[in-house]
């Protein structure tokens, strides 16, 4: 095993109960830090309200670890925005942020996360998916723990068991299919120093703003893979920590959608190959059997990048000059 991977597993992989929330609050105040929780959400009206309510009750009302809970509404056509606002989140529509920069093609989740940097103020950011089921409020202090107690830590990834909901019911393992079949094999082969990252694609992670603002954000579902490679390249693998948060349940996408996600992650990885890579084709063909034929459906899985937010902040909009 690569020494960095071994060090991550042995010395910088903790558990959710390692830090008592009251102690973390005292540390946060002592260091004068603020915390933003960001939930990117596209059509998550069924889950986002419960998540916001749970987090606000625990970390704004009971132990005020969190200064703001922001939902970035990513083109939802359901009641996501209304439900999130009713639960007490600040809701920002993705197109309302930095409108002079237009819309990144296939922006998706990556665009929502990048724009969240422009509308939040926390020194520390905690990102969580808005489709979590039975969300555990312990995720927030779990992810903040290493950042608040160790100044050398810059980025913290969540680790969890991932049950898979099947037609036969809930299976205790088997979730995280793109992680198992693509993301970890890619890291082991090409970035072996990151082979100890247990959930590279997981949507629950936290980081320091000054680092997050210095890296590009990849569009769509390439964003987590891109952040992992780029942040550790920027700040060093030793600034990465991970925390075992227990169990994570979310709403699953179907196989074809996961195939397209895998295509975007592969494109993200190819663009980061040390020494550069040949320009890959970005068209993914998928096949749908009908009664008499196999139909071909082509998808663009190319990814785009937003520049580091720190660069954008230095160039004010024409209207602001
Ligand atoms: O255009 C989009 C699509 C998704 N989302 C939100 O992003 C989160 C994650 O999306 P989801 O479709 O649930 O992704 P998963 O199938 O769960 O994919 C996993 O793998 C992805 C690739 O790394 C990560 O982005 C996810 O966080 C991680 O859970 C959810 O809150 C979505 O509502 C957006 O904001 N905009
Ligand atoms: O994280 C992943 O690998 C993908 O989101 C797929 O997750 P799932 O298999 O739990 O749907």
Cβ of 250 less than 6 Å from ligand 1: yes
DSSP state of 284: E
Report which bound ligand comes closest to the CA of 164. Answer: 2
Nearest CA to ligand 2 atom 11: 252
- Residue 96 Cα, ligand 2 centroid: separation in angstroms? 29
Report which bound ligand comes closest to the CA of 227. Answer: 1
Report which bound ligand comes closest to the CA of 175. Answer: 2
The residue to mutate among 38, 110, 132, 221, having the most atoms of ligand 1 within 8 angstroms of its beta carbon, is 221
**C-alpha closest to that of 248 among 8, 51, 25:** 51
- Residue 131 Cα, ligand 1 centroid: separation in angstroms? 8
SS3 167: coil
- Residue 266 Cα, ligand 1 centroid: separation in angstroms? 16
Cβ of 248 less than 6 Å from ligand 2: no
Cβ of 264 less than 6 Å from ligand 2: no
**In Å, how far from its chain's centre is CA 120?**
16
Where exactly are the structural domains of the chain? 3-311
Report which bound ligand comes closest to the CA of 249. Answer: 2
CB-based contacts of 186, cutoff 8 Å, min separation 6: 225, 265, 266, 269
**C-alpha closest to that of 44 among 163, 170, 129:** 129
Nearest CA to ligand 2 atom 7: 176
Q: How many CA atoms, within 13 angstroms, populate the side-chain half-sphere of residue 22?
A: 0
Class of the domain covering 3-311 = alpha beta
Query: How high is the pLDDT of residue 186?
Result: 97
Query: How high is the pLDDT of residue 33?
Result: 98
Kindly provide the ipTM of the predicted complex, given to two decimals. 0.98
The residue to mutate among 109, 175, 249, having the most atoms of ligand 2 within 8 angstroms of its beta carbon, is 175
pLDDT (tens place) for every residue of the chain, 321 residues total: 999 999 999 999 999 999 999 999 999 999 999 999 999 999 999 999 999 999 999 999 999 999 999 999 999 999 999 999 999 999 999 999 999 999 898 999 999 999 999 999 999 999 999 999 999 999 999 999 999 999 999 999 999 998 888 888 898 888 899 999 999 999 999 999 999 999 999 999 999 999 999 999 999 999 999 999 999 999 999 999 999 999 999 888 999 999 999 999 999 999 999 776 678 899 999 999 988 899 999 999 999 999 999 999 777 665 545
Q: How far apart are CA 215 and CA 233, in angstroms?
A: 10
Query: How high is the pLDDT of residue 317?
Result: 60
**In Å, how far from its chain's centre is CA 259?**
19
Nearest CA to ligand 2 atom 2: 176
Cβ of 252 less than 6 Å from ligand 2: yes
CB atoms closer than 10 angstroms to residue 168: 6
- Residue 86 Cα, ligand 1 centroid: separation in angstroms? 22
To which residue do tokens 């608040």 refer? 148
Query: How high is the pLDDT of residue 24?
Result: 98
């Amino acid at each position: 095993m690569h020494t960095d991977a071994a060090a991550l597993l042995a010395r910088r992989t903790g558990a959710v109960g390692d830090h008592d929330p009251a102690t973390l609050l005292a540390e946060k105040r002592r260091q004068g830090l603020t915390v933003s929780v960001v939930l990117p959400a596209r059509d998550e009206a069924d889950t986002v309200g419960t998540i916001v309510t749970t987090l606000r009750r625990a970390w704004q009302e009971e132990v005020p670890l969190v200064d703001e809970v922001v939902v970035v509404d990513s083109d939802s056509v359901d009641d996501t925005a209304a439900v999130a606002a009713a639960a007490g989140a600040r809701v920002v529509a993705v197109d309302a942020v930095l409108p002079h920069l237009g819309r990144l093609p296939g922006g998706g989740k990556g665009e929502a996360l990048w724009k969240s940097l422009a509308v939040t103020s926390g020194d520390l950011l905690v990102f969580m998916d808005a489709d979590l089921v039975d969300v555990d409020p312990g995720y927030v202090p779990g992810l903040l723990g290493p950042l608040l107690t160790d100044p050398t830590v810059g980025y913290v990834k969540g680790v969890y068991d991932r049950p898979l909901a099947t037609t036969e019911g809930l299976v205790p393992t088997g979730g995280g299919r793109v992680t198992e079949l693509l993301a970890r094999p890619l890291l082991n082969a090409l970035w072996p120093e990151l082979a100890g990252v247990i959930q590279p694609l997981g949507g629950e992670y936290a980081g320091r703003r000054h680092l997050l603002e210095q890296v590009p954000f990849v569009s769509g579902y390439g964003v987590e893979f891109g952040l992992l490679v780029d942040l550790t390249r920027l700040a060093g693998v030793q600034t990465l920590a991970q925390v075992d948060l227990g169990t994570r349940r979310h709403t699953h996408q179907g196989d074809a959608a996961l195939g397209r996600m895998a295509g975007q992650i592969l494109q993200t990885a190819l663009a980061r190959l040390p020494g550069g890579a040949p320009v890959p084709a970005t068209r993914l063909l998928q096949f749908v059997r009908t009664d008499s034929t196999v139909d071909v459906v082509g998808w663009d899985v190319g990814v785009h990048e937003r520049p580091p937010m720190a660069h954008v902040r230095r160039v004010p909009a024409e209207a602001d000059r």
